[in-house]
Amino acid sequence: MEDSLVSSESIKFPHAPPREIAPALWVVDGTWSNALARRMTVVRLRNNEVWIHNPMQLAAPELAWLASLGFVRGIVAPNKWHVSDLRWMAEKFPQAQLMCPLSFLEKNVQLKDRILCTTDVPYVTNDHELEFFPVTGVRFEETVLFHPLTRTLIVCDLMMNMRLEGSWLQRTFFKCNNMGECCAPTRVLKWVMTSNRDELLAFVEQMAELNPRRIVVNHGEIFEGEGGNQIRTSFSSLFW
């Protein structure tokens, strides 16, 4: 990603150009304030409505590209840790409805008229082209998206898949936290951010039953393969 970053004086964190990973499904990989980086995912439905997951501030060419895709219907801040650029994106697309954590809405009541729902509420778009599942049993108010047409599961901090690179300290941290090259939940999720283990494991089994062929994580490499098996294996190996 570093070789093709788009920089701009108007944005704090550079990002790569958008790339299409499946029909009507794009990602924009961006830098962040730490080594985890971040990823914005864009889905266009068959009626040309566009949904943005994990919005990030974009340089002008990428913002124009996003506007060219279709009618931006929804902007999703997927959990309470990834809300920093929601207001920025909402200003660029004033027609869009917003989905955000309840804790964010409570601090930004001026946006209440634009809120479609909060991340603790299930939601399905017309014709079930995009499904939203609130993660249960955790403390970070996350919603997970599923795009049935491409069998793509889009998560934020539920799972990570970081490369084991960088300094020795960084590689060691990633490996010890179960986040290095394995597309899995982290030990921080297990020991700090899980509020109800049984509820969380029931939820991830529901996600595994969707049998995704692709898992788009916010932090790290996109997983391609038997997603249902990966979800079951990675959670069972950590939580049991």
pLDDT band at 2 (very low <50, low <70, confident <90, very high): very low
pLDDT band at 181 (very low <50, low <70, confident <90, very high): confident
**CATH number for the domain that contains residue 205:** 3.60.15.10
Dump pLDDT digits (tens) for 29-70.
999 888 899 999 999 999 999 999 999 999 999 999 999 999
Question: CA–CA separation, 132 vs 236, rounded Å?
Answer: 23
pLDDT at residue 148 in the model: 97
Question: CA–CA separation, 1 vs 234, rounded Å?
Answer: 26
Dump pLDDT digits (tens) for 136-163.
999 999 999 999 999 999 999 999 999 8
User: What residue numbers bound the domain in which 15 lies?
Assistant: 2-239
Report pTM: 0.94
User: What domain count does the chain have?
Assistant: 1
- Rounded to the nearest 5 degrees, what angle is found at the Cα of 45, between the Cα atoms of 92 and 66? 30
Question: CA–CA separation, 45 vs 212, rounded Å?
Answer: 18
Dump pLDDT digits (tens) for 207-216.
999 999 999 9
Strand bridging mode 115-118 / 97-100? parallel
